Amino acid sequence: MINRKKATLPRYNQGEALSPWREHINDVIFGFHTPMGRAFDVILIVSIIISVLAIMLDSVEAIRLEYGDWLFGVEWFFTILFTLEYFLRLICVRKPWLYAKSFFGLVDLLSIIPTYLTLILPGAKYMLVIRILRVLRLFRVLKLAEYLGEANVLMRALSNSRHKIMVFLYTVTTLVVVFGSLLYVVEGEGSGFTSIPKSVYWAIVTLTTVGYGDIAPVSPLGQFIAATIMVLGYGIIAVPTGIYSAELVRAYTGGDKAIGEPCMTCGETGHDKDALFCKHCGGSLEAEED
Amino acid sequence: MINRKKATLPRYNQGEALSPWREHINDVIFGFHTPMGRAFDVILIVSIIISVLAIMLDSVEAIRLEYGDWLFGVEWFFTILFTLEYFLRLICVRKPWLYAKSFFGLVDLLSIIPTYLTLILPGAKYMLVIRILRVLRLFRVLKLAEYLGEANVLMRALSNSRHKIMVFLYTVTTLVVVFGSLLYVVEGEGSGFTSIPKSVYWAIVTLTTVGYGDIAPVSPLGQFIAATIMVLGYGIIAVPTGIYSAELVRAYTGGDKAIGEPCMTCGETGHDKDALFCKHCGGSLEAEED
Amino acid sequence: MINRKKATLPRYNQGEALSPWREHINDVIFGFHTPMGRAFDVILIVSIIISVLAIMLDSVEAIRLEYGDWLFGVEWFFTILFTLEYFLRLICVRKPWLYAKSFFGLVDLLSIIPTYLTLILPGAKYMLVIRILRVLRLFRVLKLAEYLGEANVLMRALSNSRHKIMVFLYTVTTLVVVFGSLLYVVEGEGSGFTSIPKSVYWAIVTLTTVGYGDIAPVSPLGQFIAATIMVLGYGIIAVPTGIYSAELVRAYTGGDKAIGEPCMTCGETGHDKDALFCKHCGGSLEAEED
Amino acid sequence: MINRKKATLPRYNQGEALSPWREHINDVIFGFHTPMGRAFDVILIVSIIISVLAIMLDSVEAIRLEYGDWLFGVEWFFTILFTLEYFLRLICVRKPWLYAKSFFGLVDLLSIIPTYLTLILPGAKYMLVIRILRVLRLFRVLKLAEYLGEANVLMRALSNSRHKIMVFLYTVTTLVVVFGSLLYVVEGEGSGFTSIPKSVYWAIVTLTTVGYGDIAPVSPLGQFIAATIMVLGYGIIAVPTGIYSAELVRAYTGGDKAIGEPCMTCGETGHDKDALFCKHCGGSLEAEED
C-alpha cells in the first residue's frame, strides 16, 4: 500500500514532477532502479575508492617523492569530476537548498572544497583529513538494492536499543573513571600513571581488552585491581552483545507482530507482516480496506 | 494495577504526607515527574560532570600549576553546593536516617566530606579517589523517565543470570590459577613469570584477550600452552554473552512470563500468552473477564 | 517422576544402604541436602581457598623468606586435613574403587600426594603445579543447591553444540596455519617470524585479539595481511557466541518442547515442561499415566 | 523426499553408473557411508596432519639442522602418497575435468606440485607456503557424518547474513579510514603515525581490540580519539555477533520456514508451523493430506 520507491526518497527529492531532462538526470544520479542509475552508482563508488586510495598513498613519503605528480593529477581529475557531479545534483534535485544542507550534501561539498583551498592556503595536512572524509560518500552504496533492506534492519535494531546502549556506555564511563583514579593513587607516577586523565585512558585501554601495554601496573595491588577491571571488561561485553542480539532476534522472529491488526473474522492476531489471509480461519485480513 | 510512581519510590521516601513545603522540595529533589524535578536532575548532572572534570584536570601537573587557583575555587563552589543539597535532602526526605544509610546517601556524603577533610589533613591524594566517587551520583540520571524502564530490563536480566555468571567466573578463576601455575613452572623467572600470583595475573591478561605483552612466554612449550589459553579465552567469551543474550531474548519475546496474570483458581503464574486454561489446575484463565 | 536426589548421585555412590554411621558420614561428606552436609561443603571450600592462597604466596620470593615457616605449617595442616578427609571418603563411599578412579577421586589424591613426596624428593617446583590442582576440588561447590541446575543448563548447551564448536575450532586452526605461514614468508626473520610454529603462535595471538606485540609485522604487505586476520578474528568471534546463544535461547524458550507429549484430549503439543493440563482445552496431560 | 546422499554429492561426481571396480574405488575415496570410505578419510586426515607438522618443524632452524634428512623423507613419502591418491581420484571420478577445476581438486594438486618443483627450482621458501595449503584438505573431514549437518547449519546462517555482514565490514572500513587519518594529523610522525596507511593499520589494530602497542598515541588529544575508537570497537562487536546469533536462533527455533511445505493452491511457502490456512490465498494447507 505504501509506494516503496517513493518512501525511500530523501526529503529533498520529494515533490512535483520536473522537466523531462531534469527528471532523467535525477533518475540517473539519485535513483537506483534503472540500469543507468545503477551504473552511475557503481562508477561513483569506484571513483571514490580510487580517489581515497590516492590520498592515502600520497601520505607515504617514499611514494609521494616518486609518484607525487601522478597522484596530484589523479586528485585534480577526481576533484573536478566530483565538482561537476555536485553541480549536476544541485541542478536536478527538487529542493537544492535542502539537499545542500543534508548530511550527504555536506559530505559531497567537503570532499571537493579542500582541494581548491590548497591553491590559496598552506597547511595541506589538515585539509587532507577533510578530503578523506569523501570515504563517507561510499555509504551511498547502501542505496544499492541488495543492501537497502539489510541496512534498515540493522539501523532499526540499533535505534530501538539506543537507550539501553546509553545506559551501558554510562556504566562503562563510571567504571573507567573510578578504576582509573584508583590506579592513579595505587600505582603513582613511576609506572606511567602520571595523571587521572591518563589513568582513565589506561582504564579504557584495559576494559575494552585492547591492552597496548604502553602503560601497565607493576605493583601487586595495582595488578590485582587491573585484573578485576579486565574480568569486568571481558564479562560486560555481554551486555551490548546481548542487547543487540535480542533486538535482532525480535526483528527476525516477528516478535513485534503483536502490534498487527487482528483477523476480522475470528479476531486472532499474530499474523506475519506479509499475510493477506488469517492463518487460523482463512478469512481475508484486508476485507475492510477495499 | 500497580502504581508505578509509588512503586519506584525508594524505601526512605515512602510513608505519610509531609507538610506542603517539604512535600514540594521533596518533589523537586527526589521526584522526576514534574518539570522542576526534571530541571533539578539536569542541573545536578551538569554540576557533577563539571566537578568531576575539575578533579581530573587538577591531577594533571601542568594544568594545576597554571590554573590551580581556579580549580580550587570550582572545587569549593561545588562542594558547598552539594553540601546544601545534602542537607535539603535530609530535611525533606520522609526517613532521613534510612536515606543517610542508603547507597546514594553514602555516596552523597562521601562526595563532600573529603574536601572538608583536606583542611585539617594532608595526604590529599587519597582523598582525591574518594572525591571522584561522586561520579557515582551520576547514576541518579537513570531516574530520568527515558532510562527508567531500560535500566530495569538490563538489571533484571543480569539478576536472573547471576548464578550462571557465578559458575562462569568460578570456571575462569580455576582456569587462570591452573594455567598461571603451569606457565610459572614452564617459563621460569627469565621471562617475567617470577611468582604464581604474577603468573596468574598474566593468565588473566591473556584469557581476557587484553594482552599487554609486558609478560609473555618465550619458550616453545610456554607459547603452546599460552596459545591454548588464548583460544579458550576467545571461545568462552561465548558463555557470558550467550547467557545474557538468552536472558534478554526471553525478556523481549515474553518468555519471561512472571508479568502475566495469575490463575484465578490456583494462583499459579507463568502461563503462555495464548493460554486459555491454567496449565497447573486446568481452570479457565478467562472466566472472570466475561 | 525421576528422583532428583538419586539422579544426581555419582555412580560410585549408588547402591544398597550402608550401616547407619557410614550412611551418616556419607550424607555429610557427599550429600548437600542436610545442614551438616552443607556446612561440610562450606568448610571444605574455605579450606581449599586458604590452602591454594598459601601455595601461591609461597612462590613469592619476598614472602617465602619472611613467612616461609608459617606457610610450611599451613601447608602441612591442610594436607593432613585433606588426607583424613580422603580416607573418610574411601571408608564411607559405596564403591571405594570407583570413587578412587573417578575425576574427583584423582584430584583429591593428587592434592595430598605431592606434599608427602617433597619429603623424599627434591624438585619442589614441579610438585607445586600438582599441589595447586587442588583448586579443581572447588568445583564441588557446584553441588551446592543454588548452582546445581544452572551448571547443568550451561553444560548441556555446551554439549549440544560440541560438534559445531569442533567445526569452528577446525576452521580457526586452518586459518592460523595458513596466515602464520604466509607471514613467515612475507615478513622473514627480521621482525621475529623466525619459524612457522612461531608465526602460527603469532597468528593465534592476533586472531584471538590478544595482541601481545612481542612479534608484530613491520612490512606494509605483512601489516595488510595482519589487518585481514584481525578483522577475521574480530568477526568470527560471532560464530561460537552465536552458536552458544542460540543453544541457550532454545533451552530458555522451550524450543525443544516439540519433543513433548501431545494432549490426550485435543492433540495439541507445545506444552511447557511443567504443564499438567493442556493449555488449549484444559484436559489433563497425565491422565494415561495414573 | 530429497535423497540426502545424492544431494550432498559434488557436481563432479553426479551422473551415470561407473564400471564396478571404479564405482568401488569412488565409494572408498569420495564416499563416507561405507566402513572403508570412513577408514580412508581417517587415514587421509592423519596423513595430512603429520605432513603439515613436518613442514612446520622443517622451518625451525635447530630442528632442520638435526633431523633435516628425516623430514625430507617424510615429505617425499607423503607427496608420493598424495600423488597416487590424486591420480586415483582423477581415474574414478565421474567428471575428471570438473573435479580438477573444483576447489578441492586445485588444493589437492597444489599440495603435491611444489615438492616436485623444488627439484628444478630454488626459492623453496615460497613453495613452502603453497605446500602448507594442504592443510585445507583437512576440510574433507567435514564430510564425516557427525559434522555434515552442523557445518551446513553454520554455513547457511553465514550465507543468509552475508549482506548484513557486508554492511558491517563497510562501516568498519569507513571508521578505520576516518579515524586513522585523524590520528595521522593529530599525532604526527613522532609517535609512529608516519603515513595514512600506517595510521589506518593502527586503527584496525585498535578497533578490533588486538592492541599490539607497537604504535600508540601519546598526545592527550590523540589518546582521547583513540579511547573513542576503542569504545566503538568494543561496542560494535555486538553487530556481527547479534546478526549471527539471530540467524542461528531463527534456524534453531524453526523461524527459517523455507523448509516447510508450500501451499497446494498458490505455491507460496513461509507459513508458520501451526498455520492451517495459506496466509497468501486463504486455501487450506491440510486439504491434500486427508
- Tell me the shortest Cα–Cα distance from C65 to chain A, in angstroms: 17
- Reduce the DSSP state of residue C132 to 3 states and report it: helix
Is there a contact between C209 and A212 if contact means CB atoms under 8 Å apart?
no
Is the pLDDT confidence value at C70 over 60? yes
Q: Which three cell numbers stand for residue A215?
A: 602503560
Q: Specify the domain boundaries for CATH 1.20.120.350 within chain C.
A: 11-147
| Surface-to-core class of residue B47, CB atoms within 10 Å of its CB (0-12 exposed, 13-18 middle, 19+ buried) | middle
| Residue corresponding to grid cell 489471509 | A277
Q: Could you tell me if A15 lies within 8 Å of chain D, comparing CB atoms?
A: no
Interface test with chain A among C241, C247, C250, by most A beta carbons within 10 Å? C241
CA angle D165, D171, D176 (to 5 degrees): 125
Q: What is the predicted pLDDT for the residue at A41?
A: 84
Is the pLDDT confidence value at C128 over 50? yes
Q: What is the predicted pLDDT for the residue at D147?
A: 74
Q: Could you tell me if D219 lies within 8 Å of chain A, comparing CB atoms?
A: no
Interface test with chain C among B163, B173, B194, B253, by most C beta carbons within 10 Å? B163
Q: Round to whole Å and give the CA distance between C139 and C107.
A: 11
Is the pLDDT confidence value at A205 over 90? yes
Nearest to B245 among D211, D212, D245 (CB): D245
Calculate the dihedral angle through the C-alpha atoms of D31, D37, D43, D49, rounding to the nearest 10 degrees.
20
Q: How far is CA C90 from CA C84, C96, C97, D157, in A?
A: 10, 5, 8, 51
Q: What is the predicted pLDDT for the residue at C166?
A: 85
Q: Which three cell numbers stand for residue A220?
A: 601487586
Interface test with chain C among B165, B172, B173, B174, by most C beta carbons within 10 Å? B174
Q: Using CB atoms, list chains with 3+ pairs below 8 Å to chain C.
A: A, B, D
Q: Could you tell me if D276 lies within 8 Å of chain C, comparing CB atoms?
A: no
Q: Round to whole Å and give the CA distance between C13 and C26.
A: 9
Size of interface A-B (CB pairs under 8 A): 146
Are B22 and B15 a contacting pair, CB within 8 Å? no
Tally Cβ neighbours within 10 Å of residue C278: 25
C243 contact residues in D (CB cutoff 8 A): 154, 248
The model's confidence at residue D279, banded by pLDDT at 50, 70 and 90, is low
- Tell me the shortest Cα–Cα distance from D195 to chain A, in angstroms: 5
Q: Could you tell me if B220 lies within 8 Å of chain C, comparing CB atoms?
A: yes
Residue range C222-277, pLDDT digits in tens? 999 999 999 999 988 899 999 999 888 888 766 444 334 455 555 555 555 555 66
The model's confidence at residue C79, banded by pLDDT at 50, 70 and 90, is very high
Alpha-carbon Rg for chain C in angstroms: 27
Query: What are the E-state strand segments in A119-275?
Result: none
Is there a contact between D181 and A128 if contact means CB atoms under 8 Å apart?
yes
Q: Which three cell numbers stand for residue C151?
A: 551448571
Q: What is the predicted pLDDT for the residue at B45?
A: 87
Return the residue of A nearest to C60 by Cα: A220
Nearest to B241 among D209, D212, D241 (CB): D241
Is there a contact between C126 and B185 if contact means CB atoms under 8 Å apart?
yes
- Reduce the DSSP state of residue A284 to 3 states and report it: strand
pLDDT, mean of each 10-residue run, chain B (290 residues): 48 78 83 81 89 90 90 92 92 88 86 84 72 82 69 85 86 92 86 90 94 90 93 90 89 55 54 56 51
Q: Round to whole Å and give the CA distance between B284 and B265.
A: 8
Residues 39 to 78 of A: which have CB under 8 A from any B CB?
Answer: none
- Tell me the shortest Cα–Cα distance from A210 to chain B, in angstroms: 5
Is there a contact between A279 and D276 if contact means CB atoms under 8 Å apart?
yes
| Mean pLDDT in residue range A247-267 | 61
Q: Round to whole Å and give the CA distance between D91 and B132.
A: 77
Q: Round to whole Å and give the CA distance between C81 and C89.
A: 12
- Tell me the shortest Cα–Cα distance from D264 to chain C, in angstroms: 24
H helices within B59-195, ranges in order?
A: 61-92, 96-101, 103-110, 113-120, 124-132, 145-160, 162-187
Fold of A154-253: Helix Hairpins (1.10.287)
Is the pLDDT confidence value at A190 over 90? no
Percent of chain A residues topping a pLDDT of 90: 24
| Mean pLDDT in residue range A129-149 | 76
The model's confidence at residue C210, banded by pLDDT at 50, 70 and 90, is very high
Nearest to B248 among A166, A231, A242 (CB): A242
Residue range C9-37, pLDDT digits in tens? 677 777 777 788 888 888 888 877 788 88
Paired residues of B284 in beta bridges = B277
Nearest to D241 among C164, C182, C237 (CB): C237
Q: Which of A34-38, C214-218, D214-218 has the lowest mean pLDDT?
A: A34-38
| Residue corresponding to grid cell 499474530 | A270
A61-92 vs A35-58: helix axis angle to the nearest 10?
150
Mean pLDDT of chain C: 80
Task: Enumerate residues 6+ apart whose C-beta is below 8 A from A64.
Answer: A57, A58, A71
Q: Could you tell me if D245 lies within 8 Å of chain A, comparing CB atoms?
A: yes
Q: Which of B80-89, C93-102, D30-39 has the lowest mean pLDDT?
A: D30-39
Length of chain A: 290
Interface test with chain A among C53, C223, C234, C245, by most A beta carbons within 10 Å? C245
Tally Cβ neighbours within 10 Å of residue C43: 11
Q: Round to whole Å and give the CA distance between B83 and B252.
A: 42
Paired residues of B277 in beta bridges = B284
Q: What is the pTM of this model?
A: 0.83
CA angle A69, A137, A39 (to 5 degrees): 90
Is there a contact between D238 and A245 if contact means CB atoms under 8 Å apart?
yes
Q: Specify the domain boundaries for CATH 1.10.287.70 within chain B.
A: 154-253
Q: Check residue C18 and give left, alpha or beta (phi > 0: left; psi -120 to 50: alpha).
A: beta
Residue type, A135: V
Cα D167 to chain centroid distance, Å, stands at 20
| Residue corresponding to grid cell 573510578 | A178
Question: How far apart are the two ends of chain D, measured CA to CA in Å?
Answer: 19
Q: What is the predicted pLDDT for the residue at A204?
A: 95
Are A213 and D213 a contacting pair, CB within 8 Å? yes
Paired residues of C179 in beta bridges = none
Q: Round to whole Å and give the CA distance between C174 and C243.
A: 20
Q: What is the predicted pLDDT for the residue at C14?
A: 77
H helices within D121-255, ranges in order?
A: 124-132, 145-160, 162-187, 196-207, 220-236, 238-252
Fold of D11-147: Four Helix Bundle (Hemerythrin (Met), subunit A) (1.20.120)
Are D160 and D247 a contacting pair, CB within 8 Å? yes
Q: Could you tell me if B4 lies within 8 Å of chain A, comparing CB atoms?
A: no
Tally Cβ neighbours within 10 Å of residue A148: 14
| Mean pLDDT in residue range D180-184 | 91
- Reduce the DSSP state of residue D218 to 3 states and report it: coil
Q: What is the predicted pLDDT for the residue at C282?
A: 60
Task: Enumerate residues 6+ apart whose C-beta is below 8 A from B30.
Answer: B9, B10, B13, B37, B89, B92, B93
Q: Which three cell numbers stand for residue C239?
A: 560464530
| Mean pLDDT in residue range D3-23 | 69
Residue range C160-196, pLDDT digits in tens? 888 888 888 888 999 999 999 999 988 877 888 988 9
Are D34 and D23 a contacting pair, CB within 8 Å? no
Q: What is the predicted pLDDT for the residue at A167?
A: 85
- Nearest CA among C166, D54, D38, C250 for reference residue B242: C250
Q: Round to whole Å and give the CA distance between D20 and B243.
A: 54
| Surface-to-core class of residue B52, CB atoms within 10 Å of its CB (0-12 exposed, 13-18 middle, 19+ buried) | buried
Is there a contact between D128 and C213 if contact means CB atoms under 8 Å apart?
no
Is there a contact between C167 and D146 if contact means CB atoms under 8 Å apart?
no
Q: What is the predicted pLDDT for the residue at C217?
A: 92
Tally Cβ neighbours within 10 Å of residue B68: 11
- Nearest CA among A100, A48, A53 for reference residue A79: A48
Q: What is the predicted pLDDT for the residue at B31?
A: 75
- Tell me the shortest Cα–Cα distance from A224 to chain B, in angstroms: 7
Q: Which three cell numbers stand for residue D198?
A: 600506517
Residue type, A231: V
